[in-house]
Structure 1
Amino acid sequence: MKKTLKKSWLSFKLSLLFVLPVVASGQGYSIRLSLSGHANSQVLVTYYYFGNIYVKDTLQTNPEGLALFFGSKSLQQGIYQLYFDQEKQVDFLVGQDQNFEISLENKTSSPQIKGAWESEKFQEYLNRVAEQKSRYDTITAKKEQYKNQPDSVSRYNQQLRKMNENLTSFRLEEGLKFADSFYGNFMTANQVPKPEENQLPAASLKNDSLRWVYEYNYRAKHYWDYFDLSDLRMWHTPYIKERLNNFLNKVLLQHPDTVLPAAIRLIEKHRNNKAIFQNLTSFILNNSIQSRIMGIENVFVGLAEKYYLSGQAFWVDAQTLDYIRQEVAIRKNNLMGNTASELLLEDANGEFHSLKQQATNYTVVAFWEPECGHCKTEIPRLYQEVFLKANPSNLSVYAVYTMNDKDSWLRFVEEHQIRDWLNVWDPHQSSNFRYLYGVRTTPSLFLLDKDKKIIAKNMDVSNLKQILSSLGVLQPE
């Protein structure tokens, strides 16, 4: 009898622990977990912030799979996650009402949420998406099965389009219906605006180029219409980095004259919120320095000078600022669109040659050295596939040997018979070419126009050939 009473009292204490914080929470939060398939287990409660996942708390379930996530201060609204292991995670929404229960019958079932309407609606949405994905995969498999039957493929494509349209309509309807809530804003933010066919100007309907221009301008202008970057709750979702990446690297035309002004407009629009100002500026700066698109480094220099070197980046430490300052100094002299710095270098006989006195329509400046593995293939290719195939009055090559071993340099020149272009070097390292042209690796190729403006840089020979073909200097292969 005593044993039974003791067991009942223990069960009562566990239940009391599970209930009391709900009553006492006030302005705090109390999220009850009932995880039948995870008894006596550790569960991490994590949250999203700016594309990353951080641990908020570590919970231990009791023998019945119960646990309580609670605190005296309200949680930041956003998307949270229960992390069980690498195979099992459960996302849930925390909105205005932070007193609710999450139940999970077993390790494979979908969660059930009760007590907070936003959290409940979000789970219903996830269930809808999962159901649609299953149907989508089934139809896609059938489409593949009947891929040789055009009528069947057309029918399946129509079904897939209809499914996407229905989900889009559902999101927009939910967003409008619950516009004053985080759930409503989240649903709306899933949409990316695109012009309807009846919105297109008549001229654009008949001309593919005009259609592309109109649709591009529309997407760039309206991309953020549904996604409120000023809403800090949206920074606590999994999608913020994806949306920024897509805007900067896909929606915008990848040219510095397009990306830099758009980036500055986006930053300035949100600079009143210090956290968002910091996040946007840091993200776009890092994106621009990591980009492999030619010319986007101009965006890095522009943002660095405007926000970092001017002292507006209040969050940056001295070491990072020094690195940024050095990168700007190295890159600024040789940005695309700039006039190339003058070089006055000598040939093997000691005669000096000016870069700016090259009179051809285009000039390739090649920094190289014979011990560089890539140079051993690229420099002969540059000579054979570019220089010899171009009209000498249209293209010249100013080939700069970057090291000091004259014998090694001349042996390579003789071995590969690359005597007809201008071979020069800087034996006394007095021209400062490494700084002026940012030469940190070899080969480094620059393409200049007749005014010696940099129109392309840091490309391999294959890319250079494509550019020269588009300019009419080489015949397309």
Structure 2
Amino acid sequence: MKLFLAVFLIFISSTILYSQETGHNIKISIKNLSNNPVYLGYHYGIRKYVIDTILLNENGEGNFIGNEKLLQGVYLIITPTKKFVEILISENQHFSIFTDTLNLVENLDFKNSPENSKFNDYQKYVRKQQIEIYNLVSEKKGITDSLQISVIDSKIEKTQDIIYDYWKETAIKNKGSLLGLILNSMLEPEIPKSIKKKKNKVLETFYYKEHFFDNFDFSDSRILRSPVLHNKLDIFFKNVVFQSQDSIHFESEKLLSNPNINIDIYKYALVYLINMAETTYNFNTDELFVNIADKYFISKQDLWGDINFLLNLKKRTDKLRPTLLGEKAPEIVMQSYAGNNISMLEISADFTILFFWDPDCDHCRDEIPELKEMYQKFDNDKLKVLAVYIGENYPLWSEFIKENDLNSFLNVYDPFNTSNYKNYYDLTVTPSIFILDKDKRIIAKKIGVEYLSVILNKLINN
């Protein structure tokens, strides 16, 4: 009894000591890397940051030590050659890492960190299965027999199922831990058999979209220090959501209204969305950008604090505001190719195409013939093209008009930008196309010539 009590007291005291450990102490031992620096970094979304550096001794050993605990997440041990291994920093931040420069990942091992050992086992198992898939894909390349291809495809699918089942099993077994959080957050929704039976792709796609974030815990900020959140947002808004401004805006509002969302995740999602709205070029997202900026940034200065950032953001929104959809296009009066002045607002037509271009622009030269061919299909009173040359080289411009017989367009230019049109229309790329209605309100913008005919046919027929 006394022996049991003594052992029990030793256990209790060691547990108390362990629970009272403060700060972090991560011992590094890398074979064949003596007297070299090693860096401790971490993920934050898709970016990586270095927060500490140590110099390994002659035995390739060193310690990352600090009085404060590290914020939990996925961290990196980086060598001078920029090779790295990923580790999990969770509640226990006193452990040892062992590896070898011959193969940092395959030779990785841990002491006193069960969670990292599980993470390591998971990665090694998945890598092994992925190598199997790679070999099967390579084998398939040299085969023409359909039966053999079918057999290989079946093996690939089976291996993918093995990976996914192992992934789910590991996530469930480690629920509540950082490892469980990461693996669970990466899981995709599974279409129920009841829906699959209907063989309705639209229904399946809708279900997938509506349940895409079912396994994602928006309340746990640890996920920020990993690539998972950013990748999840990327897949959802660029591949799952229909690529239109209205659809993205609707889904953005749903995501941001989640009552359980952590404030830092909320802010990260907002920065992601406004950056996406600013850098999407395959369709117009100006209204989305202005809406997010007005509603979530400019009107909530206390949330962001950076006044200079908010001032620059306001300048950007003010620049976009005059040419948002539904707004009356800013007037431009320019000199025509024939020598007289033309006012955009005085053009008489049901629809006007504003085409900003430059003969030196390869894309412009490619689109001009398509625009000309499309324009010839419509009545002159229904549609007119105001082709605005954005450069200053009159001989180059006039020669291009003659060579390509573009006299059916209203060709104008403003070499000194006296009309300030470049600022009004935010001309950062060429060609840039706007469609205006009879009252010169903007009804479409930032579209390719290939879509003009379809859009105009619908507009004119209506």
The TM-score range, normalised by the shorter chain, is 0.7 to 0.9
User: Residue 37 of structure 2 contacts residue 80 of structure 2 at CA under 8 Å; is this kept in 1?
Assistant: no
C-alpha distance 344-59 of structure 1, shift in aligned 2 (>3 A): closer
How has the CA–CA distance of structure 1 residues 374 and 103 changed in structure 2, closer, same or farther, with 3 Å as cutoff? closer
- Residue pairs, 1:300-339, within 5 angstroms: 300-312=289-301, 314-315=303-304, 317-336=306-325, 338=327
Structure 1 equivalent of residue 125 of structure 2: 128
Corresponding residue for 1:89? 84
Q: SS of 2:384's equivalent? A: strand
Alignment partners' CA distance in 2, 1:231 and 1:344: 56
CA distance in 2, matches of 1:255, 1:393: 31
How far apart in 1 are the matches of 2:28 and 2:412? 74
Which amino acid in structure 1 is aligned with residue 281 of structure 2? R
Alpha carbons 1:334, 1:454 under 8 Å: kept: yes
Does the 8 A contact of 2:186 with 2:232 survive in 1? Answer: no
- SS at the partner of 1:48? strand
Question: Displacement of 1:447 after TM fit?
Answer: 2.5
Task: Output aligned runs, 1:52-131, within 5 Å.
Answer: 52-86=47-81, 88-105=83-100, 107-108=102-103, 109-131=106-128
- Structure 2 vs 1, CA of residues 456 and 237 (structure 1 numbering), >3 Å: closer, same or farther? same
Give the counterpart of 2:186 among 186, 190, 199: 190
Task: Answer with 443-452 or 235-244: which moved more.
Answer: 443-452
Residue of structure 1 in register with 2:167 after alignment: 171
Cα gap change, 1:134/1:88 in structure 2, threshold over 3 Å: closer, same or farther? same
- Structure 1: how far apart are the matches of 2:303 and 2:318? 21
Q: Are the counterparts in 1 of residues 25 and 63 from structure 2 also a CA contact under 8 Å?
A: yes
Look up the match of 1:5.
none
Q: Distance in 1 between matches of 2:101 and 2:341?
A: 82
Residue matched to 1:160 = 156
Give the whole-Å Cα distance in 2 for the aligned partners of 1:400 and 1:407: 15
Give 1:449 deviation, angstroms: 5.1
CA distance in 2 between partners of 1:141 and 1:375 (Å):
38
Contact 2:218–2:262 (CA under 8 A) maintained in structure 1: no
The partner residue of 2:268 within 279, 284, 309 is 279
Identical amino acids, percent of aligned pairs: 26
Q: 1:24 to 1:369 in 2, by over 3 A?
A: closer
1:336–1:454 contact (8 Å) kept in structure 2: yes
Query: Is 1:457 matched up with 2:452?
Result: no
Unaligned stretches of 5+ residues in structure 2: 1-16
Shift of 1:431: 5.8
Q: Which residue of structure 1 aligns with residue 410 of structure 2?
A: 422
Q: Distance in 2 between matches of 1:269 and 1:427?
A: 51
Q: Which residue number corresponds to residue 145 of structure 2?
A: 149
Deviation by residue 1:405-459 (Cα, 9 ceiling, x = unmatched): 9898767655654333334567997765444433455543223456755444334
**Aligned match of 1:36:** 31
Kept in 2, the 8 Å contact 1:374–1:443? The answer is no
SS, match of residue 243 in structure 1: helix
Q: Deviations over 1:338-357 (max 9, x none)?
A: 55456676765757655476
Q: Which sections of structure 1, spanning at least 5 residues, go unmatched?
A: 1-21
Give the secondary structure class of the aligned counterpart of 1:228: coil
> How far apart are 1:395 and its partner, in Å?
3.3
Task: Let me know the Cα RMSD of the aligned residues.
Answer: 3.5
Distance 1:402 1:244 in 2: 37
Relative to structure 1, the CA distance from residue 413 to residue 149 in structure 2 (aligned partners, 3 Å threshold; closer, same or farther) is closer
- Alpha-carbon shift at residue 255 of structure 1 (Å): 0.9
- Specify the code of the residue in structure 2 equivalent to 1:385: E
Q: Helix, strand or coil: the match of 2:323? A: coil
Q: What's 1:359 paired with? A: 349
Tell me the equivalent position of 1:16.
none
Work out the CA distance in 1 between the residues paired with 2:60 and 2:408: 80
Residue 42 of structure 2 aligns to a residue whose secondary structure is: strand
The total of aligned residue pairs comes to 439
How many angstroms apart in 2 are the aligned matches of 1:126 and 1:343?
Answer: 61
Going from structure 1 to structure 2, the CA distance change for 1:356 and 1:438 (only over 3 Å counts) comes to farther
Matched-pair contact (CA < 8 Å) for 1:34–1:66:
yes
Partner Cα distance (1:338, 1:280) in 2: 29
TM-score normalised by structure 1 residue count: 0.79
Q: What amino acid sits opposite 2:384 in the alignment? A: S
Residues 146-295 of structure 1 aligned to structure 2 (within 5 Å) = 146=143, 148-200=144-196, 202=198, 205=199, 211-212=201-202, 214-269=203-258, 273-295=262-284
